[in-house]
């Protein structure tokens, strides 16, 4: 995908945003630093939504946007949208569904669902024509086995009619024929070979990246529809095993131990979990970032007087407050406490 | 057991007749005779072992050298109706490999790469199964004198022996006499023990032509001219993915034809769409890399153009063999400009490791463990070759490749019959009486001044290209699912 397009979509005219942080958030690199910036940019819902996607070099993408007058940059590989950039952002957004439909990819493996669903369509389409002589679009061993079993178990359940009805309801419900057409071109079946993202983009005079995002959004929507189906519906089986944890399991385990222990003895937690002390801090910060503000015990991790002094001395834009600057005021400040304070204030600001 | 092969061919596979050589090879196999088959590209190699498996209900293990090729073959076998097929390759992750190995006895057709077969766990698992037929595909890879030498193929003789000497079918599309002898020798056979079925390399329905252009700009102009007018589906070969992509865009814009790039660097879904479109006749031309062949049969390809020179005559013959599988007149064009030679020279230089790298690898053999690109080095290191010996082998290989490239360039500048020139590498001749001078090569007729009338006269438009495609989403879903009421 073209990184420059995603930077425009997730850029801001008021806030300088880091290219790497946006890219790594979408790709699901769950470092505390990335998650922290995702929080600052309102992108927590999009963590890992473009898992496995490859992008071009950061500097090349930024250079192109700058040359086109769409962004302004500072020295830090950060950028802010110009008015021309905002216009372009609106243009892209108008071609997409609301962005929340891309966020489905943060909780479910939508790309895998897309492959699975298109393969299922091919199998059912050929079956409806009683044709078993075709080239199957193999995915990988496990997915192929899953679909094979699914088909054998369910073929007596009038699958062609069910797929036709499902797609008819889903696509007519979109109320947007252009998007519905783009969706059906992602399919392959009996005597129908569909189009590649590039081909759809050429026909619609847009970018292949926009078409790929449209597909991910549409398949994300479709996945959510399927998840609502009753348990005995054969189409529900196509959603099995696609959910992704919002926080890393390891971070959750550290946090659970911390809550259970209640004393804040991090060294013991590190020993019990067999991890480094710094990893304990990272896990707790990840949990703070990814949890609702009331679900994390901020107050028990920062002493009340330090809390007050931080609040009294913090700048208006607390998110961009650097640890180096804060340390000048509070020479004994620990990074962990500093970051927790920032997370709390950012979450509070978001809630208000 | 008396077997009526023609009945089975019709009943199980829906074909009315065998392709040349197929029946003879099958008869050898059913008579339990080890066989070396030299069948041209598209000669129906898959059907041979599929039919053997279908008739005998025995397990078939197929050794194949390339992952992409293996996936294509699995797909083709499934297309032809065999569903118990699996491929054991390095592309599998740990879990997949473990599950497949634990269920291996459920599969009738097992594709395996020679590297996988060298893995003790995989080998023991395969050994525990009863194998009816052991197939060595692309058997020329066993020969150090062939263009695609793969050291792991050298172990296949020993592997076969350890598997209890199952009935063996060795197959390749093109092999010189030296390569044929090498295959038999390395597989530990006496030549008297092996039945050989060698089909002619010559494809009389493919017209051969080549043109030398002054520079790339001229070559691009010539390509646009040809692509605008030549009838039928076609493939254009490039030596790089980026050039294939660039040319596809350029040709689509300048010729108005449906052109797409097709190579191994694309994601699976895109490649699948393009493959299906090409098969269905919705794409006119595919710009492909020579490293990534189309594993799927398309009979009505009318022309193959080489924008870049292939590395050797064997590769060229294989690649042009993708056109005219329906036996109808077809065209092979090779476009050449003098710098193309250097492009290939660079490729040769890049695939042969330099002395200091070799020296480092011999001093740090751990670096060889999992790196695919050093597999050949690893083979020599593990088999006790010294650094100097290995260096000597690589130098020898480099010289050989340069010689082969020289032969390819010579073919371009050939002022005699191109067919004779190609066939002499395979010790094959077409007698003057059998040769159709009207339809042989651009030496015999003034092709380059008359290619447009040649096009009209010989290259038929594919009937498939006229199909109308559903466009709106309602039309697509109505088309996809045939509803019974």
CB of A59 within 8 Å of any CB in chain B? Answer: no
Residue partners of A125: CB distance under 8 A and separation at least 6:
A160, A163, A189, A190, A192, B480, B481
Tell me if B9 is assigned to some domain.
Answer: yes
- Considering the domain boundaries, does residue B210 fall inside one? yes
Whether residue B178 sits in one domain with residue B138:
yes
Last residue of a domain, one of B134, B166, B198: B198
In a domain, B473, yes or no: no
Question: Measured between alpha carbons, how far is A155 from A145 in angstroms, rounded to an integer?
Answer: 15
Please give the share of chain A, as a percent, with pLDDT higher than 70: 99
Among the partner residues B80, B277, B484, nearest to A193 by beta-carbon distance: B277
CB spacing of A198 vs B270 below 8 angstroms: yes
Shortest distance between the Cα of B470 and any Cα of chain A, in A, equals 8
The model's pLDDT over B374-421, given as tens digits with 9 standing for 90+, comes to 777 887 888 888 989 888 888 888 898 899 999 999 999 998 999 999
Please tell me whether residues B281 and B390 are part of one structural domain.
no
| Whether B216 and B69 share a structural domain | no
Same domain, B181 and B79: yes
What CATH number is attached to the domain comprising B34? Answer: 3.40.50.300
Interface test with B, best of A140, A163, A165, A192 (most B CBs within 10 A): A192
State whether B236 and B374 are in the same domain: no
- Quote the mean pLDDT of chain B: 88
Structural domains of chain A, ranges and CATH numbers in brackets: 3-95 (1.10.10), 110-239 (no CATH), 249-351 (no CATH)
Hey, of B267, B477, B483, which one would you mutate to test binding to chain A, going by the most A CBs within 10 A of its CB? Answer: B477
Which band of pLDDT confidence, cut at 50, 70 and 90, is reported for residue A237?
very high
Highest mean pLDDT among A1-5, B76-80, B468-472: A1-5
Question: Which positions in chain A touch B76 (Cβ < 8 Å)?
Answer: 135
Write down the residue that tokens 């304070």 correspond to: A341
B-chain CB neighbours of A143 within 8 Å are none
Q: Is residue B177 part of a domain?
A: yes
Quick one: pLDDT band at residue A7, thresholds 50, 70, 90? very high
Q: What pLDDT shows up at residue A273?
A: 93
Residues B136 and B226 placed together within one structural domain of the fold: no
- What are the tens digits of pLDDT across the range A101-158? 999 999 999 999 999 999 999 999 999 999 988 888 888 888 988 999 999 999 888 9
Give the whole-angstrom CA distance, residue B286 versus residue B284.
7
B280/A133 Cβ within 8 A: no
Of B79, B473, B481, the CB nearest to A177: B473
CA end-to-end span of chain A: 35
Pairing relation of β-strands B35-38 and B195-198?
A: parallel
Tokens of A341: 């304070």
User: B-contacting residues of A 76-95, CB under 8 Å?
Assistant: none
List the domain range (segments joined by +) for residue B392. 352-404
| DSSP-derived secondary structure for B288-303 | EETTS---S--TT--E
Cβ pairs bridging A and B (under 8 Å) = 117
* Chain A residues 283-322 with a CB less than 8 Å from chain B: none
Is residue B149 located within the same domain as residue B224? no
B35 and B25 Cβ atoms separated by less than 8 Å: yes
Same domain, B295 and B387: no
Residues in A touching B74 (Cβ below 8 Å): 138
Q: Which two tokens stand for residue B380?
A: 């020599």
Judge whether residue A32 has pLDDT over 60.
yes
The reply to whether B181 falls in a domain is yes
In this complex, do B269 and A118 lie within 8 Å of one another by their Cβ atoms?
Answer: yes
A173: exposed, middle or buried (Cβ count in 10 Å: 0-12, 13-18, 19+): exposed
Q: Give the mean pLDDT of A58-77.
A: 92
**Contact between chains at B477 and A161 (C-beta distance less than 8 A):** no
CB contact under 8 A, B469 and A192: yes
Lowest-pLDDT range of A183-187, A280-284, B433-437: B433-437
Identify which of B86, B470, B472 has the shortest CB distance to residue A192: B470
For A141, nearest residue in chain B (alpha carbons): B96
B273: chain A residues, CB-CB within 8 Å: 188, 193-196, 199
* Cβ A346 vs Cβ A40: under 8 Å: yes
Q: CA B63 to CA B160: how far, in whole Å?
A: 11
A71 touches chain B (CB under 8 A): no
Q: Which two tokens stand for residue B373?
A: 């690109």
CB contact under 8 Å between B482 and A139, yes or no, is no
Distance of alpha carbon B183 from alpha carbon B90, whole angstroms? 25
Q: In what order do the strands lie in the sheet containing B285-289?
A: B206-212, B330-336, B303-306, B234-238, B285-289, B259-262
Please check whether residues B107 and B163 belong to one and the same domain: yes
Q: How confident is the model at residue B466 (pLDDT cuts 50, 70, 90)?
A: very low
Helices then strands, counting H and E runs in chain B, come out as: 20, 13
- pLDDT at res. B377: 83
In a domain? residue B485: no
Residues of A in contact with B272 (CB under 8 A): 137, 188
Do B376 and B424 have their domain in common?
no
Query: Based on the domain organization, do B271 and B376 belong to the same domain?
Result: no
Q: Would you list which residues of chain B are within 8 Å, Cβ to Cβ, of chain A?
A: 14, 71, 74-76, 78-81, 86, 92, 95-96, 99-100, 260, 268-270, 272-277, 279-280, 282, 296, 469-474, 476-484
Q: Does A120 touch chain B (CB under 8 A)?
A: no
Which of B79, B135, B81, B85 has the alpha carbon at shortest distance from B106?
B85
| Cα nearest neighbour of A160 on chain B | B481
Residues of B in contact with A138 (CB under 8 A): 71, 74-75
Ranking A26-35, A212-221, B430-439 by mean pLDDT, the lowest is B430-439
Residue B160 lies in a domain: yes
pLDDT in tens, B83-130: 799 999 888 888 999 999 999 999 999 999 988 898 899 999 999 999
Instruction: Record the tokens describing residue B295, joined without a space.
Output: 């594993």
Q: Which helix (H) or strand (E) holds B334?
A: strand B330-336
Q: Give the helix/strand (H/E) hosting A129.
A: none
% of chain B at pLDDT higher than 90 = 52
pLDDT per position as a tens digit, B124-161: 999 999 999 999 998 988 876 655 667 788 889 999 99
Predicted pLDDT at A158 = 92
| B276 neighbourhood in chain A, CB within 8 Å | 135, 188, 193-194
Domain count across chain B: 3
Is the residue at B162 inside a domain? yes
Residue where one domain finishes, among candidates B170, B198, B226: B198
Query: Is residue A137 less than 8 Å (CB to CB) from chain B?
Result: yes
Residues B400, B432, single domain; the answer is no
Are residues B96 and A140, on separate chains, in Cβ contact within 8 Å?
yes
Residues in chain B: 485
Q: How far is A195 from chain B (nearest CA, A)?
A: 6
Instruction: Centre a 10 Å sphere on the Cβ of residue A336 and count the other Cβ atoms it contains.
Output: 18
Helices (H), chain A: 3-9, 19-27, 32-40, 58-67, 83-95, 100-107, 110-128, 141-154, 159-174, 177-184, 197-204, 208-227, 249-261, 266-273, 277-290, 298-301, 304-313, 323-329, 335-351
pLDDT, position B371: 61
Q: CA of B275 to nearest chain A CA: how many angstroms apart?
A: 9
In this complex, is the C-beta atom of A251 within 8 Å of any C-beta atom belonging to chain B?
Answer: no
């Amino acid at each position: 995908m073209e990184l420059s397009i995603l930077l425009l979509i997730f850029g801001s005219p008021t806030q300088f945003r880091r290219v790497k942080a946006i890219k790594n958030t979408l790709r699901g690199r769950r470092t505390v630093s990335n998650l922290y910036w995702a929080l600052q940019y309102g992108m927590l819902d999009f963590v890992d939504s473009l898992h496995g996607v490859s992008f071009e070099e950061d500097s090349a993408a930024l250079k192109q946007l700058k040359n086109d007058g769409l962004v302004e940059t500072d020295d830090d590989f950060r950028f802010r949208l110009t008015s021309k950039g905002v216009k372009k952002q609106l243009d892209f957004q108008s071609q997409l569904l609301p962005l929340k439909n891309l966020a489905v990819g943060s909780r479910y493996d939508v790309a895998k669902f897309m492959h699975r669903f298109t393969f299922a369509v091919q199998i059912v389409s050929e079956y409806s024509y009683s044709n078993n002589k075709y080239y199957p679009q193999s995915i990988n061993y496990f997915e192929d086995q899953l679909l094979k079993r699914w088909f054998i178990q369910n073929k007596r359940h009038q699958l062609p009619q069910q797929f036709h009805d499902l797609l008819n309801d889903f696509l007519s419900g979109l109320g947007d024929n252009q998007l519905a057409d783009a969706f059906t071109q992602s399919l392959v079946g009996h005597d129908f070979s569909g189009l590649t993202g590039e081909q759809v983009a050429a026909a619609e005079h847009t970018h292949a990246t926009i078409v790929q995002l449209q597909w991910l959004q549409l398949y994300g929507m479709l996945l959510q529809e399927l998840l609502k189906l009753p348990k005995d519906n054969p189409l529900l089986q196509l959603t099995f095993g696609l959910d992704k944890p919002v926080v890393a399991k390891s971070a959750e385990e550290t946090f659970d131990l911390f809550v259970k222990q209640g004393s804040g003895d991090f060294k013991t937690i590190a020993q019990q979990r067999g991890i480094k002390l710094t990893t304990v801090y990272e896990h707790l910060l990840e949990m703070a970032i990814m949890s609702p503000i009331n679900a994390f015990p901020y107050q028990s991790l920062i002493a009340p007087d330090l809390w007050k002094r931080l609040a009294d001395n913090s700048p208006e834009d607390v998110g961009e407050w650097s640890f180096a600057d804060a340390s000048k005021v509070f020479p004994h400040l620990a990074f962990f406490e500093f970051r927790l304070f920032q997370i709390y204030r950012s979450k509070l600001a978001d809630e208000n | 057991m008396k077997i009526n092969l023609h009945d089975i061919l019709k009943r199980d596979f829906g074909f009315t007749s065998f392709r040349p050589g197929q029946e003879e090879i099958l008869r050898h196999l059913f008579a339990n005779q080890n066989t070396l088959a030299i069948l041209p590209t598209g000669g129906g190699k898959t059907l041979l072992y599929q039919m053997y498996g279908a008739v005998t209900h025995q397990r078939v293990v197929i050794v194949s050298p390339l992952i992409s090729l293996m996936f294509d073959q699995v797909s083709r076998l499934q297309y032809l109706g065999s569903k118990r097929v699996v491929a054991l390759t390095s592309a599998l992750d740990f879990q997949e490999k473990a599950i497949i190995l634990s269920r291996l006895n459920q599969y009738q057709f097992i594709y395996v790469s020679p590297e996988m077969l060298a893995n003790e766990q995989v080998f023991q698992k395969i050994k525990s199964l009863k194998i009816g037929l052991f197939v060595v595909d692309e058997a020329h890879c066993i020969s150090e004198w062939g263009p695609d030498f793969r050291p792991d193929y050298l172990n296949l003789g020993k592997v076969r022996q350890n598997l209890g000497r199952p009935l063996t079918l060795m197959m390749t599309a093109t092999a010189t006499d030296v390569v044929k002898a090498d295959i038999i020798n390395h597989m530990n056979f006496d030549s008297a023990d092996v039945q050989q079925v060698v089909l002619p390399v010559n494809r009389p329905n493919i017209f051969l032509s080549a043109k030398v252009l002054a520079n790339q700009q001229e070559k691009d102009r010539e390509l646009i001219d040809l692509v605008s007018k030549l009838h039928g589906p076609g493939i254009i070969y490039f030596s790089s993915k980026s050039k294939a992509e660039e040319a596809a865009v350029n040709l689509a814009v300048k010729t108005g034809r449906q052109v797409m790039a097709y190579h191994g660097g694309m994601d699976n879904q895109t490649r699948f769409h393009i493959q299906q479109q090409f098969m269905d006749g919705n794409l006119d031309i595919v710009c492909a890399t020579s490293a990534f062949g189309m594993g799927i049969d398309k009979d009505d390809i009318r022309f193959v153009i080489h924008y870049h020179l292939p590395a050797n005559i064997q590769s060229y013959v294989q690649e042009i063999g993708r056109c005219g599988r329906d036996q109808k007149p077809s065209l092979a064009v090779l476009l050449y400009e003098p710098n193309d030679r250097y492009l290939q020279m660079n490729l040769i230089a890049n695939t042969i490791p330099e002395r200091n790298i070799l020296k480092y690898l011999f001093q740090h053999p751990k670096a060889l463990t999992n790196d695919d690109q050093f597999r050949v080095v690893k083979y020599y290191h593990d088999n006790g070759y010294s650094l100097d010996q290995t260096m000597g082998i690589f130098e020898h290989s480099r010289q050989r490749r340069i010689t082969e490239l020289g032969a390819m360039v010579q073919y371009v500048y050939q002022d005699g019959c191109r067919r004779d020139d190609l066939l002499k590498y395979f010790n094959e001749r077409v007698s003057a009486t059998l040769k159709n001078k009207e339809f042989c090569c651009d030496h015999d007729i003034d092709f380059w001044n008359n290619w447009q009338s040649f096009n009209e006269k010989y290259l038929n438009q594919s009937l498939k290209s006229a199909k109308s495609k559903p466009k709106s989403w309602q039309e697509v879903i109505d088309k996809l699912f045939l509803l019974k009421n």
